[in-house]
Chain A
């Protein structure tokens, strides 16, 4: 009997790095966990785990899928494929599409595209303000009540810089347990900014993006969140000063969460000296001192999660002069690799910690009850099988993303994702998509 896709037996796998077990998956659910060799293999496709690590499927709170509008950079389908190959079972699609995801219609369209692709759950993020223009609130309630059931709202790419508008947004989403994910960037301090402001930007003649432009907004927003008793999430924290402010806010009991990107865990501003725009990103790569601070903050929980800020761009938007190039870099396929390299290998985070920072906590912040679950009988089989030893040079051409702006190109990194399961169905096996991506829709 052929039961591929319905029943799987993962043998000799280590859940969150613990002792080896066998895990039996039927349909969408984990039905049995037992000592190696003790479970019934009947009717199941057996996948030898060879002592590899089993984690809950990863959840990204910050992904740019570019559809609708920039299908030349990415589509929901290609982005979903990249996500699955990165070990993700859910992504949150940012709102800065064209048209902007600021209505129930657009978020439902993205949600349906995600369902049709079926490689990861695509949860649309709704815009906070109409057209991301920072002038008036979008219909947040309509997006929350839509089929997409939006809970995360963000003008990402732009800061909700108006203090009154930010206050109202924080207050308003309390009605449906939403969260405002703020792109913290004081716009006047960063007009035409190109890279981290410091000695290097002065030498390179590139306009500086000062740390204070991020920190000042975070300081304001945590105080606003405290004042109105609402929930704030800080996108892509990049500076040591931001970490200090968030640590202080948490010590006061303010309901704030924060994310760090893989690139801010690994890369520094020194790469800008190449003037290669593949390293141009917003917020910019910072100093070694900041990299150390965000790693420590992720380890101690001051920063709650890793989020990719996966930002695909077509070749022509990066193969040009630095100051006309687009901001952003790919992240889905190397996110876990970077976390292993920067956090697990140096002993800053164990596998339970990785599961928390990349699956459990992001699902909790996004209010997605079906993800970030324990690996236990009766739980949904959203899983990723990880080989911590595998590694090799990153080849951008091998990506499932439609874009190639990969800042890790040629870098020797872990290549950990062996298999990904979305509700019991393998989306990735042996590191490759389990089934080829359907041809693009007309």
Chain B
């Protein structure tokens, strides 16, 4: 494993499988009455969140605490950063406090990369979502969830078909998922209106479709991405209703999926926009499981970056 986790591309096939296997062992801890391991006792993990994301922050916080690490939550919104303190000065402060790992969430693509490579800090850096770039732990927890349902919780995802639908252009989740799922041997199809696909998507290791119905009968997993209603104002699509009709997941479309297929969403959902409540709460939905698996994955990442290279 690299010293940092900045991109899903940092993970080799063996690294990725090691993280998933480690997460599976650590998941057992979460089922115990005392949900705690002494592994990272005395180590300090800083959650450095420049962008609001309660879900991701508490997931990392729970993961670090279950490994007995000391956790400092540095919510940069409403702190000195909004008064103009630079990323560099914040980093130097964390360095002075002796942070062993920094989990960073930032609205600027590349901010974790800057933090890891500018020499301001010696801690391991974990990207918890940067701008429209990547969100590697989300991709790992998604892969973990797929592996549990589609591959008996072992090995990789060779040959599985995953369809990812929505605002790929602005989605860090889609970028990390395409990279990681490709590494794990899955076939990925991205589905979006052409306006919400980046220039150059043809060079990505995946298929692209403008039509949602076509790939559904062959999909083992279907991931719906959040689509912000504001995108409509920038002419990415004409109206909420048109988007929902062409790219939303409703009961009719869900019925086109094979019997065993699962429906995923990284949250938070726009019910009625990209997914109907009926499907989100339906039997195929593994959306709540994704959240649970997030804690195990983040435990595994922190463990492997700070603790050691061997499975727990």
Contact status A202-B109, CB under 8 Å: no
Chain A residue contacts of B175, Cβ below 8 A: 203, 205
CB distance from A317 to the nearest CB of B (A): 10
Contact of A324 among B108, B113, B198 (CB under 8 A): B108
CB distance from B295 to the nearest CB of A (A): 26
Contact of B114 among A199, A204, A206, A322 (CB under 8 A): A322
Known contacts A316-B86, A322-B110: A205-B200 contact under CB 8 Å: no
What is the CA–CA distance of A323 and B130 in the complex, to the nearest angstrom? 12
B196 located at the interface, meaning its Cβ lies under 8 Å from any Cβ of chain A in the complex: no
Chain B residue contacts of A197, Cβ below 8 A: 199
Known contacts A274-B117, A323-B131: A204-B86 contact under CB 8 Å: no
Contact status A198-B199, CB under 8 Å: yes
CB distance from A214 to the nearest CB of B (A): 15
What is the CA–CA distance of A205 and B201 in the complex, to the nearest angstrom? 12
Contact status A319-B108, CB under 8 Å: no
Known contacts A201-B198, A203-B175: A321-B110 contact under CB 8 Å: yes
Contact status A202-B201, CB under 8 Å: yes
Contact status B172-A205, CB under 8 Å: yes
CB distance from A280 to the nearest CB of B (A): 11
Contact status B113-A275, CB under 8 Å: yes
Contact status A321-B133, CB under 8 Å: no
What is the CA–CA distance of A320 and B111 in the complex, to the nearest angstrom? 8
Contact status A321-B200, CB under 8 Å: no
Q: Which residue of A lies closest to B198 (CB)?
A: A202
What is the CA–CA distance of A203 and B175 in the complex, to the nearest angstrom? 7
What is the CA–CA distance of A275 and B127 in the complex, to the nearest angstrom? 14
Per-residue CB proximity of B199-229 to A under 8 Å, as 1/0?
1110110000000000000000000000000
What is the CA–CA distance of A290 and B134 in the complex, to the nearest angstrom? 28
What is the CA–CA distance of A210 and B198 in the complex, to the nearest angstrom? 12
A208 located at the interface, meaning its Cβ lies under 8 Å from any Cβ of chain B in the complex: yes
Q: Which of A151-208 contact B (CB under 8 A)?
A: 197-208
Contact of B199 among A201, A320, A321, A324 (CB under 8 A): A201
Q: Which residue of A lies closest to B86 (CB)?
A: A320
Contact status B134-A205, CB under 8 Å: yes
What is the CA–CA distance of A320 and B86 in the complex, to the nearest angstrom? 7
Known contacts A205-B109, A205-B131, A205-B172: A321-B114 contact under CB 8 Å: yes
Q: Which residue of A lies closest to B199 (CB)?
A: A197
Contact status B198-A321, CB under 8 Å: no
CB distance from A50 to the nearest CB of B (A): 42
What is the CA–CA distance of A320 and B85 in the complex, to the nearest angstrom? 10
Contact status A200-B109, CB under 8 Å: no
B88 located at the interface, meaning its Cβ lies under 8 Å from any Cβ of chain A in the complex: yes
What is the CA–CA distance of A199 and B175 in the complex, to the nearest angstrom? 12
B24 located at the interface, meaning its Cβ lies under 8 Å from any Cβ of chain A in the complex: no
Contact of B110 among A202, A208, A210, A275 (CB under 8 A): A275
Chain A residue contacts of B200, Cβ below 8 A: 198-203
Q: Which residue of B lies closest to A207 (CB)?
A: B132
Known contacts A206-B110, A274-B117, A275-B110: A320-B87 contact under CB 8 Å: yes
What is the CA–CA distance of A320 and B131 in the complex, to the nearest angstrom? 15
The total of Cβ contacts below 8 Å across the A-B interface reads: 71
What is the CA–CA distance of A320 and B120 in the complex, to the nearest angstrom? 11
B106 located at the interface, meaning its Cβ lies under 8 Å from any Cβ of chain A in the complex: yes
Chain A residue contacts of B108, Cβ below 8 A: 321-324
Contact status A210-B134, CB under 8 Å: no
Contact status B199-A204, CB under 8 Å: no
Chain B residue contacts of A206, Cβ below 8 A: 109-110, 131-133
CB distance from B58 to the nearest CB of A (A): 25
What is the CA–CA distance of A200 and B132 in the complex, to the nearest angstrom? 13
CB distance from A310 to the nearest CB of B (A): 25
CB distance from B174 to the nearest CB of A (A): 10
Q: Which of B129-144 contact A (CB under 8 A)?
A: 130-134
Per-residue CB proximity of A296-340 to B under 8 Å, as 1/0?
000000000000000000001001111110000000000000000
What is the CA–CA distance of A372 and B141 in the complex, to the nearest angstrom? 65
Chain A residue contacts of B201, Cβ below 8 A: 202
What is the CA–CA distance of A324 and B113 in the complex, to the nearest angstrom? 15
Q: Which of B152-205 contact A (CB under 8 A)?
A: 172, 175, 198-201, 203-204
Chain A residue contacts of B87, Cβ below 8 A: 320-321
Contact status B109-A322, CB under 8 Å: yes
Known contacts A203-B200, A205-B132, A275-B114: A320-B88 contact under CB 8 Å: yes
Q: Which residue of A lies closest to B113 (CB)?
A: A275
Q: Which residue of A lies closest to B171 (CB)?
A: A205
Contact of A199 among B111, B117, B172, B203 (CB under 8 A): B203
CB distance from A201 to the nearest CB of B (A): 7
Chain A residue contacts of B203, Cβ below 8 A: 199
Chain A residue contacts of B133, Cβ below 8 A: 204-206
What is the CA–CA distance of A275 and B7 in the complex, to the nearest angstrom? 13
Chain B residue contacts of A320, Cβ below 8 A: 86-88, 114
What is the CA–CA distance of A198 and B198 in the complex, to the nearest angstrom? 8
Contact status B130-A205, CB under 8 Å: yes
What is the CA–CA distance of A4 and B65 in the complex, to the nearest angstrom? 75
Contact status A321-B132, CB under 8 Å: no
What is the CA–CA distance of A198 and B118 in the complex, to the nearest angstrom? 26
Chain B residue contacts of A203, Cβ below 8 A: 175, 200, 204
CB distance from B202 to the nearest CB of A (A): 8
CB distance from B128 to the nearest CB of A (A): 14
Per-residue CB proximity of A130-168 to B under 8 Å, as 1/0?
000000000000000000000000000000000000000
Contact status A208-B172, CB under 8 Å: no
23 contacts between A and B (CB under 8 A): A198-B199, A201-B198, A201-B199, A202-B198, A203-B175, A204-B109, A204-B133, A205-B109, A205-B110, A205-B131, A205-B175, A206-B109, A207-B132, A208-B198, A275-B113, A275-B114, A276-B114, A319-B118, A320-B86, A321-B114, A322-B110, A322-B114, A323-B110
**3 tightest CB-CB pairs across the interface, nearest first?**
A199-B200, A205-B133, A275-B110
Additional pairs, 4, CB under 8 Å, beyond known A199-B203, A205-B133: A201-B200, A204-B110, A206-B132, A319-B88
